[in-house]
Structure 1
Amino acid sequence: MNLEKYRFNYSLAGNLQKPLILFLHGFIGNIEEFDEAIRLLGEDFSYLILDLPGHGKTQVLGNDKYHQIECIAKGIIHLLEELKIEKCFLVGYSMGGRLALYLTLHLPEKFIKVILESASPGLATNIERLARIKSDSQIARKLTTITEKSDFRIFLNNWYNQPIFSKIKNHPKYQKMLESRLENKPLELAKSLQFMGTGYQPSLWENIKENKIPLLLLVGENDEKFININTVMSYRCKTAQLKIISQAGHNTHVENTLSFVQNLHHFISVGCGV
């Protein structure tokens, strides 16, 4: 679908008479990110999944600024309007979680409840943001030099050595996840990291204090950094509740899919007649 500056690759699945969940994947993910979770959720919901700009088969038709969070948010709202989706539930993981929070705070009328998995409101200070921009720029430069799939595989394996991902490389689903990640284009990922990385995102720390949409914050028990971030988020936002997923690091929906789905389903169902 061509929406102004985006040609989104998306799938709208399930019984559209059922409540709809919009899923937003993380950096280096794609439209397949939540397939297993959706399979477990079953027929209680309908689902909108997509490749975010810079990922998968979605095309950015405008200049590089259309990789920024503000523009992508507008593109997604336009997509919802074109599909005649008035309100939905929203799930975002990591980078997709930051985008989901931005959407929640700026366009709350579109969302019933929101689930943020391993997400943050961004960085609070200019010093932190500048340091992160420098770090992400170095990673983006590495991505721009990748021309062979074998080199991309090495990059991804190194990426998942980061402490926040805990022991995901030992998980039985890791190789399948890796093969899906390899479908992305390194040069497009570099643009996504450069223009939608945590350092470039406007800080949302003050905004979350005013949020009125129910939020579920999900983090893995082995992801200490994001446990700390989300603990502070839960204190600052009166509508937020924090749940820690056992036997998982940053990517809870892959490492402990069942617990992720159970928490999501319970949160959505309470008070919504699902």
Structure 2
Amino acid sequence: MIAETRDFRFSVASYGNPDLQPVVFLHGFLGSSQDWKTVASTLAHHYTVYLPDLPGHGNTMITDAATCSFENVVENLADMIRQLPGPPPHLAGYSMGGRLALALLCCVPELFRSGVIVSSSPGIADRAKRRLRAESDDRLASNLKEDFCGFLDYWYALPLFAELRKHASFSEILDKRRKNCPDQLALALKKMSTGRQPSYWNCLENIRLPLLFIAGEKDTKYVEIGRQMVNLCPDSILEIIPGCGHTPQFEQRRMVTGRLLNFFNTLDHHDL
């Protein structure tokens, strides 16, 4: 389906019976709606699942760079979610999608039933560090445009993805990444950089929705961030997924799917 908002035509894949409780999954940088497809197929027995392509990814194009600021993308995502049928959805996001999800949960909590944040953060609290991160991401975006294949080699050689590189599906994941448009990805990287988004650390204590934070056991940076977020959010839990790194939804897909079902079932009282 296509969901038209003020600035974007979101391409949205859907799974399951539209009469069931909805769940929305947001993918990470370089990804697409297909990243959550296998998880969605399992959840579709009990939920209707919506998988949007984020701006600059998949089939959701950025037609005007001025519309792609982090805050504006959040506003457009909120407009998209308002168009979905049914009650307020559960919202889940990974990495970049997790940052967008946290922003939505802070800014428009009334739109959602709960939140799941995978390998992500509320941004960078220190203003000087945000500026440095934005400059770093600008350089990465230039490299991406100049040599996309070289950028992918560099990106997935980062220690963050050490466990993913060992996974049997890594080649397939990389092939899917190559199908994205480099110019679109570069715009998304610059405009939605962690260095250009607001810090939402001070908003976390105001989120009254149930929250589930997920991090891979070997992804020590995001395990620690998860612990900090749980300490701030009044109704939240942290699940550390054993034996995996920054991409638990790929590395331990069945385990992550089970954690999601358990979390949602507790809230929705399904007999799974």
In the superposition, the TM-score normalised over structure 1's length comes to 0.94
- The match for 1:122 is 123
User: Is 1:239 the equivalent of 2:240?
Assistant: no
The separation in 1 between residues aligned to 2:119 and 2:104, in whole angstroms, is 16
Q: Indicate conservation of the 8 Å contact 2:19/2:86, yes or no.
A: no
- The match for 2:36 is 34
- The match for 1:149 is none
- The match for 2:111 is 110
Q: Indicate conservation of the 8 Å contact 1:65/1:71, yes or no.
A: no
Q: Indicate conservation of the 8 Å contact 2:18/2:85, yes or no.
A: no
Q: Deviations over 1:47-88 (max 9, x none)?
A: 111110011111233x32321221112212222233334410
Instruction: Output the amino acid matched with 1:240.
Output: S
The separation in 1 between residues aligned to 2:240 and 2:164, in whole angstroms, is 17
Q: How far is the alpha carbon of 1:153 from its aligned partner?
A: 3.0
User: Is 1:259 the equivalent of 2:255?
Assistant: yes
- The match for 1:46 is 48
User: Is 1:201 the equivalent of 2:197?
Assistant: yes
Q: How far is the alpha carbon of 1:270 from its aligned partner?
A: 0.4
- The match for 2:17 is 15
Q: Indicate conservation of the 8 Å contact 2:115/2:211, yes or no.
A: yes
Instruction: Output the amino acid matched with 1:51.
Output: D
- What secondary structure sits across from 2:49 in the alignment? strand
Instruction: Output the amino acid matched with 1:18.
Output: L
- The match for 1:186 is 182
Q: How far is the alpha carbon of 1:155 from its aligned partner?
A: 1.9
User: Is 1:175 the equivalent of 2:175?
Assistant: no
- The match for 2:76 is 75
Q: Deviations over 1:153-204 (max 9, x none)?
A: 3321221111122321110010111111111111111111111011001000
In the superposition, the TM-score normalised over structure 2's length comes to 0.95
- The match for 2:141 is 140
Q: Indicate conservation of the 8 Å contact 2:160/2:246, yes or no.
A: yes
Instruction: Output the amino acid matched with 2:261.
Output: H
- Structure 2 gaps of 5+ residues are none
Query: Considering only aligned residues, what root-mean-square deviation do their CA atoms show, in Å?
Result: 1.3
Match of 2:61 among 59, 64, 67: 59
Q: Deviations over 1:87-121 (max 9, x none)?
A: 10111000000000000011101111110000101
- The match for 2:96 is 95
Q: Indicate conservation of the 8 Å contact 1:216/1:240, yes or no.
A: yes
Match of 1:166 among 162, 168, 177: 162
- What secondary structure sits across from 2:195 in the alignment? coil
Instruction: Output the amino acid matched with 1:109.
Output: E
The separation in 2 between residues aligned to 1:189 and 1:86, in whole angstroms, is 32
Match of 2:8 among 1, 6, 9: 6
The separation in 2 between residues aligned to 1:257 and 1:116, in whole angstroms, is 15
The separation in 1 between residues aligned to 2:135 and 2:223, in whole angstroms, is 25
Q: How far is the alpha carbon of 1:252 from its aligned partner?
A: 0.5
Q: Any runs of at least 4 consecutive aligned residues in structure 1 with deviations exceeding 6 A, and if so which?
A: none
- Identity among equivalent pairs (%): 32
- Structure 1 gaps of 5+ residues are 147-151
Q: Which moved more, 1:239-248 or 1:1-10?
A: 1-10
Q: How far is the alpha carbon of 1:239 from its aligned partner?
A: 1.4
For this pair of structures, how many residues does the alignment match? 268
- The match for 2:220 is 224
- What secondary structure sits across from 1:167 in the alignment? helix
